[in-house]
Amino acid sequence: MPVAQRWVVERTFAWLACFRRLAVDYEYAPASHICWLLLANITMCLNRLA
């Protein structure tokens, strides 16, 4: 894998680590956890656009 692509992936995972609720799965329903992942991704995308 080229270094530039690896850096983008590692940066994305580091940003996801900032969402503490995703670090430990507190949700009982899988759909709820998926919603939190989507919310984190939307937040990251909006931060990149700003």
**What pLDDT does residue 32 have?**
79
Residue 44 to residue 31: CA distance in whole angstroms: 20
Could you tell me the two tokens for 37? 């992942």
Determine contact, residues 28/10, Cβ cutoff 8 Å: no
Q: What is the pTM of this model?
A: 0.57
Confidence at 2, pLDDT banded by 50, 70, 90: low
Residue 48 to residue 31: CA distance in whole angstroms: 26
